[in-house]
Structures are given as C-alpha cells and as structure tokens.
C-alpha cells in the first residue's frame, strides 16, 4: 500500500482531493459566520458576494499550496493548512472590526462591490503572507 502512495500521480490526486475537501469545509465555516446565504446571493447575481467568496477560495487554495510545498507529510500539510485557514478566518473578523462605520456582511449582501473587492484583496494578499510563514 505504501508503494501506491509513493506514485506521483496517486500522491497528486490525493493532495488535490484533500485540498478540495478543505476548501469545501472552509466555505461551510464561512457560510456559518456570514449573515447572508452565499450561494443564494451568487445565484441572484450579487457580484460583491462573489468577489468576497472568490477571495476566500483563492486564499484557502493558496495557503494549501504553500502548505504542500513546505511539508513532507500529509498530516503536517493538513495541520498547517488548517492553521492558515484559521488565520484567514481571523482576517474576516478583523475586516469587520476595522470598519465600524458599516457592517461588512450587510454591505456585501446589499451588493456593495467596493466592500466585495476589499474583501477579495484582503483574503488573497494575506493568504500570501500566511503562506510565506508556513
């Protein structure tokens, strides 16, 4: 069985599957903490929510990219990837905290593209910082 996982195609498919599952898991967590229904908003054509969600997906994938590069074991990769996701989740709360003049979730739900773009850029840019520290 060990020989099977040492094959580069099997290993790549395994990491791809784990990362995809981690992205889905992360999106579920984000869905729980936001005040709007992400997929309903996207279905309605809400570009602001689509931008914010795209930034989260990119950010999570980017963190796992760095985690895969930096770790030799799958367990370490998952651990660091999860830790990076928690830091990215913290970015969401910091963004909300640093904008006391308005509620980010309400602005996104209302279609405020500027709020969506800032959310996208925060997720993407800080995923590079998080990834670099893994």
Interval 36-56: pLDDT, tens: 999 999 999 999 999 999 999
What token pair was written down for 2? 């060990």
Which residue, among 129, 30, 134, has the nearest Cα to 77 in the 3D structure? 134
pLDDT of 1 strictly over 50: no
In this prediction the pTM is 0.88
Q: Evaluate if residue 2 carries a pLDDT over 80.
A: no
Cα separation values, 41 from 72, 79, 86, 104, 132, Å = 39, 32, 24, 15, 33
Residue 5 is predicted with a pLDDT of: 62
pLDDT tens readout for residues 76-114: 999 999 999 999 999 888 988 888 888 999 999 999 999
Domain boundaries, the chain: 2-133
Alpha carbon 45 to its chain centroid, in Å, reads: 21
Phi, psi (rounded to 5 degrees) for 99: -120, 65
Is the pLDDT score of 126 beyond 80? Answer: yes
Mean pLDDT of 128-134: 95
Contact 38, 103 (CB under 8 A): no
- DSSP 8-state assignment for residue 46: -
- pLDDT of amino acid 18: 92
Whether 3 shows a pLDDT value over 90: the answer reads no
pLDDT of residue 74: 86
């Amino acid at each position: 069985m060990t020989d099977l996982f040492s094959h580069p195609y099997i290993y790549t498919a395994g990491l791809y599957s784990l990362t995809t599952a981690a992205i889905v898991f992360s999106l579920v967590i984000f869905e729980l903490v936001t005040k709007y229904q992400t997929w309903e908003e996207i279905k309605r054509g809400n570009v602001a929510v689509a931008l914010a969600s795209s930034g989260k997906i990119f950010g999570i994938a980017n963190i796992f990219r760095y985690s895969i590069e930096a770790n030799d074991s799958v367990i370490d990769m998952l651990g660091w990837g999860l830790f990076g996701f928690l830091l990215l989740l913290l970015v969401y709360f910091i963004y909300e905290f640093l904008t006391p003049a308005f509620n980010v979730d309400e602005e996104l739900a209302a279609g405020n593209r500027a709020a969506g773009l800032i959310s996208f850029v925060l997720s993407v840019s800080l995923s590079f910082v998080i990834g670099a520290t893994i």
